[in-house]
Chains A and B, each alone.
Chain A
Amino acid sequence: VSLYRFLSLVAVLVAAPALPGIATRTRAFLTGRRGAPWLQLYRDLAKLWRRGVVYSRTTTVVFRLAPVVLVAATLVAATMLPLGGDRALFGFSGDLVAFAGLLALGRFALVLAALDTGSSFEGMGASREAMIGAFAEPALFLCFAVLVIASGRFDLGDMLGTSLITTSRTAPAALLAAAALFLLLLAETGRVPVDDPATHLELTMIHEVMVLDHSGPDLALILYAGALKMALIGSLVSATLLPRAGLAPPLGLLLLLGSLGLLAVIVGVVEAVMARLRLDRVPQLLVAASALAGFGMILLLR
């Protein structure tokens, strides 16, 4: 069983770079363009991996270490989620705090690396990323609080392994939490309506402008971590809506991968039908996510 959990983790790690590709392809299709192939990110990663690196003379070790810390933190966070079955590879009471802390560590490293370049554009991106992070944090914790209160369990594995959506007492709260988590997914992975991965003007970028100076394998690590983060938050949404407790081993994993693909398609649809929010409206979107989760909490505490 432990081997199965490990293999599920490996499967998610391998499949993650497909998700941004699926979203982008869906958006292109719906807006009447052909778009890049949905496996494009794999090619980009392979290409960047072979390339050399250019470091700015302004930068310090912070800039070189940041992509590594980002990927490492995201990888360790991945071990705490129940992916294929109802248990995680690794977990302990309160590991949801560690999960959020690891994602925050990655963000901290990336923001500092951006400021390390001394570029005004990257500083701008860093500032925006920090703002999004500040407002995303309470929403994430409220979602976790809803799931904890609904399930009575304190670690991610047990919590997400409980079938909350099929019990009438907890179902409304779980739905609200899943909706909030989906908004978080859009914000955390730099998608419309928060950020536009297709924009070409530095002044309007958030995530991309922050990594302008990264190149070669460093950039590959950052892109990969972004895709993995999408898979992780997607797994949270998926596990809340489609509990996999009691499914035979390969079925759970297939369900997860299928639902992640579907989520990526939905992200693409959102991108196709929505415009980006004005930047000072982004906090409102995230406050809305907090409010959704907060309502879920009120339903449970009632």
Chain B
Amino acid sequence: VSPAGVGIAALLLGGAAPTALGSRPALGRRLFQVLGIAGCLSGLVPAIPWLLDAKRSAGPGPSPWFGLDPLSAWFLVLILGVGAVTIAYGARYWGAEDGPRARRAHGLLAVLLVALAGVVTATTVLAFLVAWEVMAVTGFFLIIYDHHDPGVRRAGTIYLALTHASTLALMLMFAAWTGGHLGASFADLATSPPRPAALVLLLAGLGFGIKAGVVPFHFWLPGAHAAAPSHVSALLSGVVIKAGIYGLFRVLSLVAPIPAWWGWTALVIGVASAILGVLWALAQHDLKRLLAYHSVENIGIIGIGLGLGALGGAYGHPIVSTLGYTGALLHTLNHAVYKSLLFLGAGSVAQATGTREIDRLGGLARILPRTAIAFGVAAAAIVGLPPLNGFVSEWVIFQGLLQAGVVREPLRVAAAATAGLALTGGLALACFAKLYGTVFLGTSRSPATPARGGVDAALGAPQLVLAAACFLLGVAPVAVVPIAARIAARLGPGHEGVGGVPGLGPAAGLVSLAAVGLIAVVLAIVGLMAWIGARRPHAREGRTWACGFPRPSSRAQYTAASFAAPILGAFGPLVPGRVERGDAVFHVRPRDPVLDVFGTPLWRRLRSAGARANLLQKGRIRLYLVYVIVTLLALLFYLRPLRVG
């Protein structure tokens, strides 16, 4: 019995436990938690040697349908690692009062994790597509958990339509590649270059791009990820959209050489997704929608790395290629960790206060201290600040872009993307300062919303685990950067052992040193301040200085909307919104430029055109007789010149 088999069995059993033990919900939840986490960890075991042992090569696995290689192992670790934390959180998130619906959703979560593991370990086209579809449909049922809410149903419908558009594109892609032979394995595909290559690569970009949520196919994502229960959102945003990234990596590993136009397209779409994603996030007022738009941004950053890797391959620069792919892989892992953490934090906030409106919150750091710490770490990480993990992947991608600038070929133009990536970082800083400052700092903006502190104690631990991971990956990048670089080097031109990046490992060690140095200096100054604090006049407490105004009110605090206004103003029409003014009312409702500005009106026009066309077919027999007679007369008129004989 293999650990993978044990893992799958434990996950599925754990998922079934809450429903099977419906009469004893507490026991069912506990079994779900224990078996689920054990299953995830057990499923991780086979992946470890693939990551640590550089020399290991793919042999015949235990199953003809599923198997591992370093790329699969990398994604499997992040899926099951985040999955285990999600299960721990989910088992506490829903209590007995949530009833059979929550118990079934626990089961769906387990199925989703197994399907995800299947997607990244499938070795044949058919197994991949089946796992992909199970993942997509399970995701749909989890998204419409609150299906009494019409907004949730709408988000679910849009998700379902888009995920099937993605599956359709993938089926066409594989059909074109294999010539209709869906039983083919990926190893077969590696030896048969796709023809026509342009069509296959375009369809791959479309299918996987929709799933990953790149601009302009992102518009299903914010609604769906905001609608789902928070720990499901964590899994969707942190892990499920990475299935699209995995797919792109898999295709890139099977095709050589990658045409340059594909790399340029990926790079441009990556920059556009990154900048537009963070700008649209800045305009949001809903905590979870904001986080979901940040997933678009981060997928864009991963796209920059992927595009750069493909370009390096296309122009024959293994160092650029390896740096790009390494950055993309690292960012995939890092984003999985901090984005799932942010969604778990959002879940705690929503459960403690009953609202996700940022401008109704404030001062939650006092009520939810553990959530506040974990969320703060994740916020600094997603902005890409040292000494946290987000910095490490951006450091690698920046180096790749700068390396591209030094070579003497068309590739050097890629260095211009540094400006895009830097702008993204600056805007992300503004956005998370706004989010964290408004939700956790200051004082509460609506005295009416009760805040339950018990939530923090129950849901804090899983978040702190992920926060520790953000911190460790940032302080000790030397542990993961070489692994990612090794996987990336095998994706590059020629597939095998082309390009380590000389000096990347030692440089990662120096990043660790800088991180440790920073922490040491912070601690030293804290110590110094404490020391002098002890010999100074006692620190006094008072009211915030309101510039002479005697009665400051919590409603006078800057809101998230005001905070973001000057930045959004500078970008003008890129960030559409509807302004609602009234007596003592001022709202800016952000609109999605693709869905709300183009998609919905287009859909409405299509429907009204359909309704007008419907006049032709109203089920009246007389009308149909008229059609028949008119047709007959027209045919007779047409046949008039043809005299018989």
Chain A residues with CB under 8 Å of chain B are: 49-60, 62, 65, 68-69, 71-73, 75-76, 79-80, 90-95, 97-98, 100-102, 104-105, 107-108, 111-112, 114-124, 126-128, 130-131, 133-138, 140-142, 144-145, 148-149, 152, 154, 202, 212-213, 216-218, 221, 279-280, 283, 290, 294, 297, 300-301
Contact = CB atoms under 8 A, between A and B. Distances in A.
Nearest to B402: A148
A79 to B, nearest CB: 8
A53 B539 contact: yes
19 contacts: A50-B536, A51-B536, A60-B365, A60-B372, A62-B441, A71-B525, A73-B386, A92-B510, A98-B514, A101-B391, A108-B383, A116-B442, A118-B441, A119-B544, A119-B557, A127-B562, A134-B423, A134-B429, A297-B405
A68 B522 contact: yes
B545 A213 contact: yes
A294 B419 contact: yes
Nearest to A125: B558
Nearest to B546: A119
Please list the 9 inter-chain residue pairs (A to B) with the smallest Cβ-Cβ separation, ordered nearest first. Answer: A123-B558, A115-B437, A137-B426, A52-B537, A141-B422, A92-B510, A134-B426, A118-B442, A130-B430
Nearest to A118: B442
Given A51-B537, A127-B434, A141-B418, 20 more contacts: A50-B536, A52-B537, A54-B541, A55-B542, A56-B541, A56-B544, A57-B543, A92-B510, A101-B384, A102-B518, A108-B429, A119-B545, A120-B556, A130-B563, A134-B426, A138-B418, A145-B405, A145-B415, A154-B402, A216-B536
Contacts of A92: 506-507, 510-511, 514
Contacts of A69: 522
B429 A301 contact: no
Contacts of A216: 536
Contacts of A80: 514
Do most interface residues of chain A lie in helix, strand or loop, or is the interface mixed? helix
Contacts of B419: 138, 141-142, 145, 290, 294
Contacts of B399: 93-94, 97, 154
Given A68-B525, A115-B433, A145-B415, A124 B558 contact: yes
B566 interface: yes
Interface of B: 362-363, 365-366, 372, 376, 380, 383-386, 391, 394-396, 398-399, 401-403, 405-406, 412-413, 415-416, 418-423, 425-427, 429-430, 432-434, 436-438, 441-443, 503-504, 506-507, 510-511, 513-514, 517-518, 521-522, 525-526, 529, 532-533, 536-547, 552, 554, 556-558, 562-567, 569-570
A133 B429 contact: yes
Contacts of B429: 104, 107-108, 111, 130, 133-134, 137
Given A93-B507, A105-B380, A131-B430, A118 B544 contact: yes
Given A57-B542, A145-B418, A294-B419, A135 B529 contact: no
Contacts of A218: 529
B441 A112 contact: yes
- Of A58, A94, A301, chain B has the most CB atoms within 10 Å of the CB of A94
A57 to B, nearest CB: 5
B420 to A, nearest CB: 8
B521 A75 contact: yes
A111 B441 CA distance: 11
Contacts of B366: 60
A131 B562 CA distance: 12
B544 A76 contact: no
A142 B437 CA distance: 29
B402 A115 contact: no
Contacts of B420: 138
Contacts of B427: 134
Contacts of B363: 58, 118
A60 B522 CA distance: 17
A100 B424 CA distance: 13
Contact of A72 (B401, B413, B507, B522): B522
Given A118-B443, A121-B547, A140-B422, A102 B386 contact: yes
B383 A104 contact: yes
Nearest to B376: A62
A72 B525 contact: yes
Nearest to B522: A72
A85 B546 CA distance: 47
A94 B433 CA distance: 26
Contacts of A134: 423, 426-427, 429-430, 567
Contact of A90 (B402, B514, B545): B514
B527 to A, nearest CB: 10
Nearest to A106: B385
A98 to B, nearest CB: 6
A115 B559 CA distance: 10
Contacts of B566: 127-128, 131, 279-280
A120 B418 contact: no
- Of A73, A117, A124, chain B has the most CB atoms within 10 Å of the CB of A117
A75 B537 CA distance: 28
A213 B383 CA distance: 26
A297 B383 CA distance: 26
B442 A97 contact: no
Contacts of B385: 101, 104-105, 108
B544 A108 contact: no
